[in-house]
């Protein structure tokens, strides 16, 4: 059998939960020898998956960087909409494997400036990935139990398996040893915890394949462990924020400081890529998300300062094949 290449597809490139016209929510796909891995599941992921011509029966794994809704909101749809085609010519498709953060060690506390009013679901106020998937199945039990009575459907018990990623232990002053999330038939996925405000844990992922390596930053401030994880990768898909734009559009004080504690600014991301020594920096998860707010050329020019590799402003549907035709 001829082995196929590895291909990266950006399914959506918008940051933050609010839907904007013209750009779908954050999600990327990596296709390795026909198996599809999805990284983050923001708004429109199932549609982006179909638009990209990907095969729902070959959806193998979903990797959640953290549990904010802009990264998880369409997980239910990605599991449930294509359920009926989760069959292969010879057998049912194996369950979709979903990986992401577990329950945090502590429920984050607020402060005077930013706090909760009502605590939702106080018996489990900070559910992890396996909880989320369990609740999706419970919430859609009607569909899963009743639809097979009217249409031939695969066994819903084989639809999904969720795994909480254990945060790597670290000694004080030492870098994290990445957690091995998946090591299966030529795909090695490793994760490190990064810094995204109160969203703890939040992960960055590195995929190594026979064709090359791709790193997904998730949402993070500039983080040495991400830079170590990304060392020498072919492609770094990195989120980007323009904090100056936000400041010019009414953000300030503590609210702007919070944003700086959540994100990597466009002026910093080139330095991240340079220190990591990656081949190409592809921008995604834009903040502001509106396509007209900042031009692609402006994003790429500013992000590429200080980076000697290739910088590309990502857009929905952008594809890259590994190994690249230019390199190697």
Residues engaged in binding Zn ion (CB under 5 A): 70, 219
DSSP-derived secondary structure letter, 95:
P
Q: Which is nearer to Zn ion, 7 or 70 (CB)?
A: 70
In the three-class reduction of DSSP (H, G, I as helix; E, B as strand; rest coil), residue 203 is classed as: strand
Q: Which is nearer to Zn ion, 27 or 176 (CB)?
A: 27
Q: Which is nearer to Zn ion, 70 or 242 (CB)?
A: 70
Query: Smallest gap, in angstroms, from Cβ of residue 284 to Zn ion?
Result: 10
Closest alpha carbon to 19 in 291, 240, 298: 291
Query: Smallest gap, in angstroms, from Cβ of residue 2 to Zn ion?
Result: 38
Query: Smallest gap, in angstroms, from Cβ of residue 193 to Zn ion?
Result: 16
Query: Smallest gap, in angstroms, from Cβ of residue 92 to Zn ion?
Result: 34
Alpha-carbon span 45 to 27, nearest angstrom: 6
Q: Which is nearer to Zn ion, 40 or 208 (CB)?
A: 40
Closest alpha carbon to 323 in 193, 210, 171: 210
Query: Smallest gap, in angstroms, from Cβ of residue 198 to Zn ion?
Result: 13
Q: How far is CA 122 from the centre of its chain?
A: 27
Query: Smallest gap, in angstroms, from Cβ of residue 169 to Zn ion?
Result: 26
Q: Which is nearer to Zn ion, 25 or 128 (CB)?
A: 25
Q: Residue 247: in which H helix or E strand, if any?
A: helix 243-248
CB 230 within 8 A of CB 224: no
CB 54 within 8 A of CB 31: yes
In sequence order, the 6+-apart residues with CB closer than 8 A to the CB of 175 are 224, 225, 228
Residue 222: what are its φ and ψ, rounded to 5°? -60, 125
CB 12 within 8 A of CB 316: yes
Q: Which is nearer to Zn ion, 187 or 191 (CB)?
A: 191
Q: Which is nearer to Zn ion, 5 or 69 (CB)?
A: 69
Query: Smallest gap, in angstroms, from Cβ of residue 184 to Zn ion?
Result: 27
Q: Residue 137: in which H helix or E strand, if any?
A: helix 129-139
Alpha-carbon span 12 to 82, nearest angstrom: 19
Q: Which is nearer to Zn ion, 73 or 309 (CB)?
A: 73
Alpha-carbon span 160 to 32, nearest angstrom: 20
Tokens of 312: 């590309």
Query: Smallest gap, in angstroms, from Cβ of residue 296 to Zn ion?
Result: 19
Alpha-carbon span 39 to 10, nearest angstrom: 10
């Amino acid at each position: 059998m001829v082995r196929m290449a590895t291909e990266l597809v950006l399914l959506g490139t918008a940051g933050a939960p609010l839907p904007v016209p013209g750009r779908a929510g954050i999600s990327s796909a990596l296709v390795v020898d026909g198996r599809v891995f999805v990284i983050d599941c923001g708004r429109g992921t199932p549609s982006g998956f179909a638009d990209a011509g990907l095969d729902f029966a070959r959806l193998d794994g979903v990797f959640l960087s953290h549990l904010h809704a802009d990264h998880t909101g369409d997980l239910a749809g990605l599991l449930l909409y294509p359920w009926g085609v989760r069959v292969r010519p010879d057998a049912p498709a194996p369950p979709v494997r979903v990986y992401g953060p577990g329950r945090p060690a502590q429920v984050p506390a607020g402060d005077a400036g930013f706090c909760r009013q009502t605590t939702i679901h106080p018996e489990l106020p900070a559910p992890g990935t396996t909880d989320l998937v369990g609740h999706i199945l419970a919430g859609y039990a009607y569909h899963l139990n009743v639809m097979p009575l009217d249409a031939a459907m695969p066994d819903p018990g084989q639809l999904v398996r969720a795994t909480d990623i254990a945060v790597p232990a670290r000694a004080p002053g030492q870098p994290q040893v990445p957690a091995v999330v998946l090591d299966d038939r030529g795909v090695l996925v490793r994760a490190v915890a990064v810094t995204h405000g109160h969203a703890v844990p939040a992960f960055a992922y590195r995929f190594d394949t026979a064709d090359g390596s791709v790193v997904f930053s998730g949402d993070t401030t500039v983080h040495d462990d991400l830079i170590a994880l990304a060392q020498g990768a072919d492609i770094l898909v990195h989120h980007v924020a323009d904090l100056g734009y936000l400041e010019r559009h009414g953000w300030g004080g503590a609210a702007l400081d919070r944003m700086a504690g959540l994100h990597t600014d466009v002026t910093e991301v080139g330095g991240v890529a340079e220190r990591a020594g990656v081949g190409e920096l592809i921008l995604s998860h834009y903040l502001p998300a509106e396509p007209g707010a900042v031009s692609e050329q402006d994003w790429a020019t500013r992000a590429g300062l200080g980076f000697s590799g290739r910088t590309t402003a990502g857009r929905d549907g952008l594809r890259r094949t590994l190994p690249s035709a230019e390199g190697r």
